[in-house]
Structures are given as C-alpha cells and as structure tokens.
Amino acid sequence: MPPGKPITIVGGGLAGLTLGIGLRQRGVPVTIWEAGRYPRHRVCGEFISGNGPAVLERLGLFARFEQAGAVYARTVLLVCGSNRSPIRQLAAPALCLSRHAMDALLAETFQQLGGELLVNTRWSAVENREGVVLATGRRVQSGEKNPRWFGVKAHVSRSSPVNLEADLEMHLAPDGYLGINRINGGEVNVCGLFRVRQGNRLPGSKPDWLRGEVGSLLHARLGAAEFAPDSFCSVAGLQLKPQRAAAKKECCIGDTVTMTPPVTGNGMSMAFESAELAIEPLAAYSQAQLDWAPAQAQIARLCDTTFARRLAWARRLQWMMISPALQGRLGARLLHSDWLWQLMFKQTR
Ligand SMILES: Cc1cc2nc3c(=O)[nH]c(=O)nc-3n(C[C@H](O)[C@H](O)[C@H](O)COP(=O)(O)OP(=O)(O)OC[C@H]3O[C@@H](n4cnc5c(N)ncnc54)[C@H](O)[C@@H]3O)c2cc1C
C-alpha cells in the first residue's frame, strides 16, 4: 500500500499518543508535536476507570501498562466531614499508573512503531488545517469566570507509609475534593481539585492544601506524609462546562473537546476512547477514501454521541460532591445509598 497522506497531531498527551499509535498500527505517516518532553509529571489522579482499559487492550497497550507496574484499585471510600460511605467494591477495577511512566511508555511505543515525535516543540499555527488533529489538552477558562478551579498533584514517597482503608479514598469538602490512591512503585497519588473565588487565595502552601485541615481524616492520613518534591504539579483555570466536538472549528480529541470533572476518574478513558474513535476516519482520509471535512465531522459526531450522557451525569455528580448538604444528615444518607452510588458510577463512564 502507498504510505498515504500524513496526519499531524498537536499534543503528545494521552489522546495524541494513543491516536498516533493507532494510526501507525495502520501504516499512516504521523508526526506528533509536543510542547514538553518525557518523562514528566502531570496533574492527574492517575486512576483509569471506565472503558479506558478495554481500549488499551484493543490497541495492544494493556500488557505494557502492567509491565510498567500499573496496580489495580478495587475498593473506594468517600469521606465528607464526619460523614463517610461504606467501603464499596468498584463495579470494575481501575488501573493506576503514574503519568510519569504512562506518557513516557506511550511516547516510546509510538516511536517504536515508526511515528515521528517532536518534543519541546510548540505548534503555534492558529488556522484550521487539513490533516491536523488537536490533542492539546484542557482549554483554559476565560479570566473573568468565577469561581476558578485549579488542580494540584503530588506523590507520597514509598518510604513514607500512608494507611488507607480503601484503594481509593475521596475526601470531599464544599470547596473541592481530593483523591488518594496507590500507584506503581509503592507510591501514593494525592490529587486535589480546589475552587477559589476571584481575588481570594487558599491559605498555606501546596503540601498544606493536600494534607487537609488539622483534625480531618485527610490530615490523619497525610499529616506526616513526605511528598516527593519533584512530583508536585498544578494547573489553574480549569474549564469544566461540557463542550461539543461538533461546535469546534478544528478536528479535536481528548480534553481539547471537553473535560469531564475529575471526580469521575474517567478523563483518561475519554482521552483513549476519543483517540480510538478517530483512528478509522483518519486512516480512511489518509488512504484518500474520505475527504477531510467528512472525516472531521465523523470524529466529532462519534465523540459527541459517545460522551454526551456521561458528561451530563458527571456535571450533576460534581455539583453533588461539593454541595454543603453533603456535610449534614442528608449527606450521611446520600453517602450510604447504594442505589445512588451505582447510578452515578454507571452513568459517568
Ligand atoms: C485535578 C485533576 C485530576 C484528574 N484525575 C484524573 C483521574 O484520576 N483519572 C482520569 O481518568 N482523569 C483524570 N483527570 C483528567 C485527565 O488528566 C485528562 O482527562 C487527560 O490528561 C486528558 O488527556 P489529553 O491527552 O486530552 O490531554 P493532556 O494529557 O493534557 O495532553 C495534552 C498535551 O498537549 C501538549 N500541548 C498543548 N498545547 C500544545 C501546542 N500548542 N503544541 C504542542 N503541544 C501542545 C501538552 O504539553 C500536553 O502534553 C484529572 C484532571 C485533573 C485536572
């Protein structure tokens, strides 16, 4: 077969690299432009829940994740003030691997398959071009929006034990939430999403935000924890309102289309899934079986129909998780409701 028309992917995160791998497996010439380099830490709970592992399996990547030391999370505990849920089994285990290892292994796989990876290289073209896919990650919330959402992540070193009652503990508060879960190498991921009103700042430093208030269960878990200093990272201005791919001028996948609230633990799955959905239309374009505009429209339609329901439910879940009502008696009942838990888990992935 002739090599076909080339595809350029802007952004070598999970969506861009997964798409690059899928296209290389079909012999499509691909170049990825990545502004950063590998390995690198990313703000992420590093907890893959939903269809992501199945996509990885279909693309022949799952075994590589396991070889890299990915661990399974099977149980979850939700804590809100003095209220707590029972420890529940996840309907399907989640896969936990640091982004430090994950992004690097995908980048290596892409290159082994003959893909061209340009690191430390930022794409700056603004116009929409044929053959170019944007996988540049989250879109930044416009400056005047209130409140502002930001995320912070760090790893607790293996030498500093953290006693967890469940594989994933979610600690909820009216101004955000924080997850703690084990990852590869015996480390523990601590990742929080916080909101601040304009003009306000959270008191203290990043380790203080992650450790929680003195007297809380979160502080009992992490008060003495030693964070690996090089693992700290943060992102600000997160745009959590659902967006539609069909409304974009460009061909987009992953968080560039829309970001699901991190509480779902489904953002990485959506990055993998949207990449997989884009493979066939782009391969057809590359082989001159489909023009660019219909290929782009097909990808957008597939993404929108696949993600619409879970994004709508994720928005409700996010609202519920930070509702002050969760602290009171109603919260105790909600956290104990198996029906609500199963509904939310199923509908957000
Ligand atoms: C606080 C928080 C916690 C989260 N926890 C979880 C979780 O536990 N589980 C889960 O599944 N999801 C989680 N997520 C979501 C998850 O991290 C994202 O959904 C996922 O990273 C999206 O992948 P992506 O490839 O679309 O974007 P990214 O992984 O962000 O990759 C985008 C890439 O594009 C590059 N780039 C950007 N602009 C350019 C340019 N102009 N030129 C070249 N390169 C460019 C960037 O350097 C980056 O490497 C969390 C998110 C946050 C904020």
User: Which value, to the nearest 10 degrees, does the dihedral of the CA atoms of residues 134, 184, 191, 223 take?
Assistant: -160
The answer to whether residues 210 and 231 touch, using CB atoms and an 8 Å cutoff, is no
Question: What is the per-residue pLDDT across 30-85, written as a single tens digit (0 to 9) for each?
Answer: 999 999 999 999 999 999 999 999 999 999 999 999 999 999 999 999 999 889 99
Is the CB–ligand 1 distance for residue 255 below 6 Å?
yes
pLDDT at residue 1 in the model: 65
Residue with the smallest CA separation from ligand 1 atom 18 is: 267
φ, ψ of residue 135 to 5 degrees: the values are -130, 50
pLDDT at residue 148 in the model: 82
Please choose from 132, 255, 269 the residue to mutate so as to test ligand 1's pocket, defined by most ligand atoms within 8 A of CB.
Answer: 255
Is the CB–ligand 1 distance for residue 299 below 6 Å?
no
Please choose from 8, 9, 14, 260 the residue to mutate so as to test ligand 1's pocket, defined by most ligand atoms within 8 A of CB.
Answer: 14
Distance 136 CA to ligand 1 centre (A): 8
pLDDT at residue 95 in the model: 97
Using DSSP bridges, classify how beta strands 176-182 and 83-84 pair: parallel, antiparallel or unpaired: unpaired
Tokens (6 digits) for 268: 């990485």
| Letter string b/e over residues 74-102, b meaning 16 or more CB atoms within 10 A of that residue's CB | ebbbbbbbebbbeebebeebbbbbbbbbb
φ, ψ of residue 162 to 5 degrees: the values are -120, 125
Series of mean pLDDT values for 10-residue runs along the chain (349 residues): 89 98 98 97 96 96 97 96 93 96 98 98 89 92 72 94 94 91 96 84 86 92 94 89 92 95 94 98 98 98 97 91 81 89 91
Q: Which of 10, 284, 288 is nearest to 132 (CA)?
A: 10
Distance CA 51, CA 95 (A): 11
Residue with the smallest CA separation from ligand 1 atom 4 is: 44
Half-sphere exposure of 205 (CA within 13 A, CB side): 5
